[in-house]
């Protein structure tokens, strides 16, 4: 459970998600503390991606998908308001970097601004600069912001996607296995980044890599077969797991 002195930024209540008849996650009650990194771990197929996609209402865009239960952000039920508005407060970075291939680096980062509001050129420049700095990408691209986004390496593209997500000024940043398509060096750069990001944003990260969770997360949730098995401070979960299943997973007895 979250520590007493921490505010809950985001919270799920009896959250279940379905693909047609199949239930992917079941009655999940989870609290995400503000400005902390919460990791969601579990074997493949346990529903972690489904869960995180419910947090920004992306799950329902899949064919025949629907959701039961609620997700609260600062006490407001996200499923009672417009989905597009939700996604402007809750940003997401995907497993495979997906910069807009037809746009330059600058235009990628400024995309949320250009499409969602009418900023002046000066405002856009400022936001792009801030976002690229926050994503630790600025130094590498400062002299070629008009180059194609696809000219960057995989790790740089992922940081570009992070910058783009940050430019939208979200309060929560969701990361769905952001490093699984990247090499170890790129991965460690992003993990460093996450440590910085939590000073301003609440981060939820799905990962299949337990060591990564141990490295970056303040809190960890363990999911198995669609159910939340255990949640707590990362150290506690890994060193003194309360549930037998958790212990089995952590010690590598299954998948």
Partner 1 sequence: MTPRVSKWGDRIFLFLLLCATASVVLLVVLLVAGLFYGAGPAIHQLGLSYITGYYWNPEYGVYGLIPAIEGTLVTSAIALLIAVPLGLGAAIFLTQQAPAWLRAPVGQLIELLAAIPSVVYGFWGLIVLAPLMRNDVEPVLVKYLGWTGLFTSTPVGLDVLTASLVLSVMAIPTITAISRDSIAAVPRSQKEAALAIGATDWEVTRRAVVPYARSGIVAGAVLGLGRALGETMAVYFVIGNRTATFTSLIAQGQTIPSLIANVFLESDTPLERPALLYAGLVLLAITLAINIVARFVLSRSQVGRGAAAE
Partner 2 sequence: MKFDRPVRRKVFSHGMTVLTGLAVLVIMIPLASVVYQVVLLGSPVMNVAFFTQQIPQACGRGPGSVCHQGGVIVPIEGTLELIGLSSLFSVPIGVGAAIFAVEYGRERRFARFIGMTADVLSGVPSIIAGCFTWALFLFYDPAIAFSTLDAALALSVLMVPIVTRTTEEALRTVPNSVREAAMALGISKWKMSLRITFVAALPGVITGILLAIARSAGEAAPLLIAGGFACIHPLQGITQETCALPLWIWFGANSPNPNFIALAWGCALLLLLLILAMSVLSRFVLNRMARKMRGE
Which spans of this chain sit near partner 1 (rule: CB under 8 A)? 63, 73, 76, 81-82, 84-86, 88-89
Containing H/E element for 89?
helix 83-89
168 binds partner 2 (CB under 8 A): yes
Distance of CA 215 to the CA centre of its chain: 16
CB of 3 to partner 2, least distance (A): 30
Query: Of residues 19, 72, 100, 138, which one binds partner 2 by CB under 8 A?
Result: 100
Q: Which does 59 bind (CB under 5 to 8 A by kind): partner 2, partner 1, none?
A: none
Residue 112: name its binding partner from partner 2, partner 1, none (Cβ under 5 to 8 Å by kind): partner 2
Distance set, CA 46 to CA 24, 51, 96, 205 (Å)? 8, 9, 20, 15
Residue 151 is a binding residue for partner 2 (CB under 8 A): yes
Contact between 53 and 69 (Cβ < 8 Å): no
d(CA 215, CA 232): 15
Among 36, 87, 159, 198, binds partner 2 (CB under 8 A): 87
* SS3 at position 13: strand
- Distance in angstroms (rounded) separating the CA atoms of residues 199 and 16: 30
Would you tell me which residues interact with partner 2 (CB under 8 A)?
Answer: 56, 58, 61, 63, 84-89, 91-92, 94, 96, 98-104, 111-112, 115-116, 147-151, 161, 164-165, 168
């Amino acid at each position: 459970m979250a520590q007493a002195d921490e505010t809950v930024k985001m919270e799920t209540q009896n959250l279940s998600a379905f693909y047609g008849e199949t239930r992917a996650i079941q009655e999940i009650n989870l609290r995400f503390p503000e400005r902390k990194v919460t990791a969601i771990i579990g074997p493949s197929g346990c529903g972690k991606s489904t869960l995180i996609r419910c947090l920004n209402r992306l799950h329902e865009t899949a064919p025949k998908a629907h959701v039961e239960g609620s997700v609260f952000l600062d006490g407001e039920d996200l499923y009672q308001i417009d989905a597009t508005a939700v996604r402007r407060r809750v940003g997401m970075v995907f497993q495979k970097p997906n910069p807009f291939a037809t746009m330059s680096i600058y235009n990628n980062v400024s995309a949320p601004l250009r499409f969602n509001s009418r900023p002046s050129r000066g405002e856009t420049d400022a936001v792009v600069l801030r976002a690229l700095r926050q994503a630790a990408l600025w130094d590498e691209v400062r002299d070629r912001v008009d180059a194609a986004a696809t000219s960057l390496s995989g790790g740089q593209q992922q940081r570009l996607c992070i910058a783009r997500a940050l430019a939208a000024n979200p309060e929560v940043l969701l990361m769905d296995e952001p490093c699984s398509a990247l090499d170890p060096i790129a991965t460690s750069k992003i993990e460093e980044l996450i440590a910085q990001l939590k000073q301003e944003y609440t981060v939820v990260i799905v990962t299949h890599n337990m060591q990564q969770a141990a490295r970056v997360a303040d809190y960890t949730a363990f999911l198995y077969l669609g159910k939340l098995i255990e949640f707590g401070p990362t150290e506690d979960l890994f060193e003194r797991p309360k549930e037998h299943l958790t212990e089995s997973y952590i010690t590598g007895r299954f998948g």
